[in-house]
Amino acid sequence: MRHTVVERELELRLVLSPERSVPVPARLAYRSDDPYAVHITFHIDSAHPVDWTFARDLLVEGVFRPCGDGDVRMWPAKADGRAVVLMALSSPDGDALLQAPVPQVSAWLERTLRVVPPGTEGARLGIDDALDHLLAR
């Protein structure tokens, strides 16, 4: 089966305080051979980029309503009159609150949903083929 990669580079904002944020270059990536996940790489031009992986459904839902718990939480908001999705990420190395522009994220998500429509992810994993092969032995 042929695999498709959908990528988009964009600038997120790292929220330092209610009044202050700094730009963070990022890359969104989706691979049809890992159909449930989205990958975000921060500081893409640095020597030590930071990678996060979480459920595509979480990002889809986070554009519209608060969702997630634990290490990844998302919710829609307005920043300077613009629609953004806020991403709260927690790790042993620290916490970050990032703003992502909804128009760019939504357009990228729509592309991923055309590549692998919701509900068809399981068929992409080839689990049935692997089980058939295993049980045929």
Q: Find, among 5, 73, 63, 61, the residue nearest to 34 by Cα.
A: 5
pLDDT at residue 133 is higher than 70: no
The domain spanning residue 55 has which CATH number?
A: 2.30.31.20
Domain of 9, in residue numbers: 5-136
CA separation for the pair 28, 26 (Å, rounded): 7
Would you state the structure tokens that stand for residue 105, as one six-digit string?
A: 């994220």
pTM for the predicted model, two decimal places: 0.84
pLDDT of residue 46: 77
Q: Find, among 131, 91, 83, the residue nearest to 107 by Cα.
A: 83
Q: pLDDT digit string (tens) for 17-74? A: 988 999 999 999 999 999 999 999 998 677 888 999 999 999 999 999 999 999 999 9
- Tally of domains in the chain: 1
